[in-house]
Amino acid sequence: MMALGGQLIPSLRSASWLLAVLLPAQVPAPTPSVGDTQPAPVELGAVLDSLVANAEQYRATLPSLTADEHISSEASFLGIFKDHAEAQATMRVIRASPGKPLQESRQIAVMNGKPVEPGKTAKLPVTLFGGFGHFQDMFFTPQHRVCFSFTLLPEPGPDGTLQIGIAGPAAIPAQPGCQQDREGLTGLARVDRATGQLVHLERTIPENVAAKGNLAPFASIDCAPTKVGDETFWLPTVVIGRVQSGKIRGQFIAHYSNYHRYTASIKLLPGATEVAPTESPD
């Protein structure tokens, strides 16, 4: 999933049983009924090709947009002293110019049920970015795809999704884009069978390795088709990240809704001179 970076704000105010079931030997297989159909076989390479193509289209065509963001953020010191915050914010995802990376920013309007005063900055115990512009890039670009091993899992995921296991190799390939802070990574991708779109992506990185790249040791994202204007994009609905810094541990959960295209307006005052803009959001 994602190249989600984590920042901790230091403002803290078996055993199991095995059950064997004996079945009669030589139980005949059920006879397929007329009209039964078997799902078409899935070729992993074709699924990965589709994910790479979809990610490229997402990066190239996603417009600047805003979304309502509900955040639950908490951090704890030694598991004892805890700081928890609930916030309502506006997430802005801006493309400064065609072909440039998406830039994320958030404006918190309500913190723990209280409006944030204009001009003041509200700080969360844990703050994460990267759920929009980078979550597919870690795996699903031509240069990054060769850095990992992918396995099509036999069991389906929720709603019959395809499940793909992801693992970082023991030795990082000497390829452009194969970064050392991916060592020991494991991940899981779920793909909608009908559209080939990514609906869930998660990854786990050892904490000591994640610290080198300022990444959250665990991050996941869920996506769903979302209409923005007259177009439909597969956009984040939930982003989760878990982070660690020394003896401080934290978690960040954000839910997104009410997507709109980002628009900016300029108000000209009497006597002002209009200046032609050099760059403008999509």
- What gap in Å lies between CA 46 and CA 68, rounded to an integer? 35
In the chain, what is the greatest distance between 2 CA atoms, to the nearest angstrom? 93
Burial of 120 (0-12, 13-18, 19+ CB in 10 A): exposed
- By three-state DSSP, how is residue 166 classified? strand
pLDDT for 25 equals 33
Question: Are 206 and 184 spatial neighbours (Cβ–Cβ below 8 Å)?
Answer: yes
Burial of 12 (0-12, 13-18, 19+ CB in 10 A): middle
| Count of residues making up the chain | 282
Asked whether residue 277 is domain-assigned, the answer is no
Both tokens of 183, joined, read 């060592």
Asked whether residue 278 is domain-assigned, the answer is no
- By three-state DSSP, how is residue 277 classified? coil
Question: Are 31 and 221 spatial neighbours (Cβ–Cβ below 8 Å)?
Answer: no
Q: What is the pLDDT along the chain (282 residues), one digit of tens a residue?
A: 444 655 554 443 322 222 222 223 333 444 444 454 555 678 999 999 999 999 999 888 888 999 999 999 999 988 787 899 999 999 999 987 766 778 899 999 999 999 999 888 899 999 988 888 778 888 999 888 888 999 999 999 999 999 999 998 767 667 767 876 678 899 999 999 999 999 999 999 988 888 887 888 999 999 999 999 889 999 999 999 999 878 889 999 999 999 999 876 544 444 443 333 333 333
State the sign of the Cα–Cα–Cα–Cα dihedral 156, 161, 163, 164: positive
- Nearest Cα residue to 253 out of 112, 70, 89: 70
The CA-CA-CA angle for residues 51, 57, 62, to 5°, reads 125
Asked whether residue 279 is domain-assigned, the answer is no
Number of compact structural domains in the chain: 1
- What gap in Å lies between CA 157 and CA 162, rounded to an integer? 6
pLDDT for 1 equals 41
CB neighbour list of residue 128: distance below 8 Å, 6 or more residues apart: 4, 5, 6, 7, 216, 219, 239, 241, 243, 252, 254
pLDDT for 136 equals 87
> What's the domain range around 255?
43-261
pTM for the full predicted model = 0.78
Q: In what order do the strands lie in the sheet with 114-115?
A: 114-115, 102-111, 81-95, 65-77, 248-261, 231-245, 218-228, 198-204, 186-191, 162-167, 149-152
Asked whether residue 2 is domain-assigned, the answer is no
Q: What is the CATH classification number for the domain harbouring 91? A: 2.50.20
Asked whether residue 5 is domain-assigned, the answer is no
Task: Report the Cα–Cα distance between both ends of the chain, in Å, rounded.
Answer: 26
Asked whether residue 59 is domain-assigned, the answer is yes
Question: Are 166 and 188 spatial neighbours (Cβ–Cβ below 8 Å)?
Answer: yes
Asked whether residue 18 is domain-assigned, the answer is no
CB neighbour list of residue 103: distance below 8 Å, 6 or more residues apart: 93, 94, 95, 96, 133
pLDDT for 60 equals 86
Question: How many of the other CB atoms lie within 10 Å of CB of 214?
Answer: 13
Asked whether residue 16 is domain-assigned, the answer is no
